[in-house]
Structure 1
C-alpha cells in the first residue's frame, strides 16, 4: 500500500521546468527582449558595443534602479511609495541651499541622505500609525514635497556645488566603470541577500502573502513596513545626491515624472 502511495505521489509531482518554459516566464521574456535590443543596436551602429558608450548608457537608469531596490521590497509587502521623485527634488533643494552656504561634499551627502530618510519616515508613520492607504498618502506627499520645492526655489536654479561633489555623479572608479554603477551593483547584491537570505526578507514575503497571518505569527507588521518606507526614502536621498552631482544643479523640476518609471521598473 505504501509503495502504491509513493508511486502515486511521484506521478503527481510537477515536472521540472524545461528550457522553453523558463524562457516563457517574465524574467526570460525580459532577458530575450534585452538581448534583442543589444543585437539590433549592435547591427545598426558599430559604436553601440563600445565600452564607453555602454558605460554612458548606465547613467540613464542607475539613480532610478537604486530606488527600485527597496521599492520592490515595499511592493512585495503590499505597499507603495509614489513620492520618490518629489523626495529627490526636496533633498536636492536642501542640498543646494546648504552648498550655497558653503557646506562641503561629505556633509552635503549626509544632508541629502537625511532629508530622504525623513521623507520616507514621514510617509511610513502616516501609513502605519494611522492605518491609511499608502497610495493615497504618498500621492499627497508627492504634491507636498514638490510643492515645498517650488516654494523654496521658485523658478531659480542652485548650482553652487563644490568641485569635489561632481565626482559622485560623474566619476569613474575603474576604467569605464562609473562610481554610480559600481555603487548600484554593490547595493543590488546587498538587497538581494537581505531579501532572499535573511529573516527580514522572509518577513517581507510573509507580510505580502498575508499581513493578518503574519501579525498573528508574531511579526510586527507596522514596524517592518515603517522600515521599508524609511529605506525607500533613504535610497531616494542617495539617488538625489547622485543625480544632483551628475547634473551639477538643482531645479524644482528635477526628477519630474520618475514615479511611474521607478514603479514600472520594480
Structure 2
C-alpha cells in the first residue's frame, strides 16, 4: 500500500515538470492573481479619485498588515490539508493580555512579549488537540475560536483599555521615513522572507507539500507528520499573537472583540492566492498577491462610494470563483492525463510484436 501511495504522490507532485520552464513559471494561478492585481491597480489609478494619494497607501497597508502577517503561517497550515479558524480569536486574546499587563504596570515590551507567548501557547493547544489527540483541525479550531474569544471577552467584559505608551502607539502608526509605507511592513517583509525560504527552499517545506498530497505516504517516507503540524500551529499562534499586539497599538484599544471575523479574511486571501483547500499546493507570492488584491479592491471600491455589503459580496464571489476554477482546472488536467495515457496504451499495443 505504501508503494502505491508513494507513487501517487510522486506523480501528482512532478507531473507539471513535463511542461516547459516558462509555462511552469508564468502560466500559474499565482501569476494570474498577480496579473489581476496589477489590472485592478491600473484601473483604480485611472478611475478612482484620490486612490494614488500617499494617505490611501498608508491606511491600506496598515489595515491589511495583520492579515498579511497571519496569512504566512496559514498558508503552510492549509498546504498540509489542515486549517486554523482560531487566529482572529488569538489576536483578540493577545490584545486583551497586552492591555491588562500594561495596565498592571509592566513595561510595554515585557507585556508584548508575554502577550505573544499567550498566543504561542494557544497555538500549541490547537496543535496538541490536532496531532496528539487526533481531532480534526476544523472541529478543534471552531471550538477554540469560541474558547479564546470567550476568555478575551470574559477578562475585560464590555470595557476597553486605551492607555498605552505614546512612543509605542506612535511607532505602530509611523511610516518609513520619506515613504507612505508603514513601519509594520519591515517585520512583515522579514517574516515573509523567512517563511518563503522555509516553504520553498528547505526539506521542511517539501515535507509540507508531501503531507498535503498524501500524509500516509509522507509518514512512510520518514516525515514526522505530527510534529510538523504541531510546529505549524505553534507558528500560527505566535504570529497571531504578534498581530494582536500590533492591532492594539494601531487602534490604541484593547478589547475582547478585536479582529472579529478576521479569520475569514485571512482564509479567503490564502485560497484566492492559489493555495488548495485540499492541500499539497500553493506559494507565498500568490498568497501575498491575494491579500493585496482583496485589500486594494476594497479600498478602491470604498473610495468610489460602494457600500461594505457590496464589497463583501464581491470578495465572496472572487473566493468562490478561485475555488471553482481550481477544481475545474484539476478536472481538465485529469481528463487530459487520462487521454494521453489511453493514447500511449494504444500505441504500445499496436507496436507490440504479434506471436
Structure 2 residue aligned with 1:125: 128
Q: TM-score, normalised by structure 1?
A: 0.89
Query: Is 2:39 aligned against 1:36?
Result: yes
Query: Is 2:168 aligned against 1:169?
Result: no
**Rounded Cα–Cα distance in structure 2 between residues aligned with 1:173 and 1:37:** 25
Query: Is 2:249 aligned against 1:245?
Result: yes
C-alpha contact (below 8 Å) 1:124/1:226 kept by paired residues? yes
Q: Tell me, what secondary structure is at the counterpart of 2:159?
A: coil
**Rounded Cα–Cα distance in structure 2 between residues aligned with 1:166 and 1:108:** 14
C-alpha contact (below 8 Å) 1:68/1:262 kept by paired residues? yes
Structure 2 residue aligned with 1:148: 151
1:33 positional shift:
2.0
Structure 2 residue aligned with 1:202: 206
Structure 2 residue aligned with 1:5: none
Structure 1 gap ranges (5+): 1-12
> What RMSD over aligned residues (CA atoms) do the two structures have, in Å?
2.0
**Rounded Cα–Cα distance in structure 2 between residues aligned with 1:172 and 1:217:** 47
**Rounded Cα–Cα distance in structure 1 between residues aligned with 2:262 and 2:171:** 20
The runs of at least 4 consecutive aligned structure 1 residues that moved more than 3 Å come to none
Q: Comparing 44-53 with 128-137, which one deviates more in the overlay?
A: 44-53
Cα 1:258/1:46, change in 2 over 3 Å: closer
**Rounded Cα–Cα distance in structure 1 between residues aligned with 2:128 and 2:82:** 13
Structure 2 gap ranges (5+): 1-16, 271-355
Query: Is 2:193 aligned against 1:189?
Result: yes
Q: Write the deviation string for residues 89-121 of structure 1: whole angstroms up to 9, x where unpaired.
A: 111111111111112221122022101101000
Q: TM-score, normalised by structure 2?
A: 0.67
Paired residues, what number?
A: 253
Cα 1:39/1:206, change in 2 over 3 Å: same
**Rounded Cα–Cα distance in structure 1 between residues aligned with 2:58 and 2:87:** 25
1:40 positional shift:
1.9
Cα 1:128/1:41, change in 2 over 3 Å: same
Q: Write the deviation string for residues 208-253 of structure 1: whole angstroms up to 9, x where unpaired.
A: 1211111112111111110000000000001001111100011222
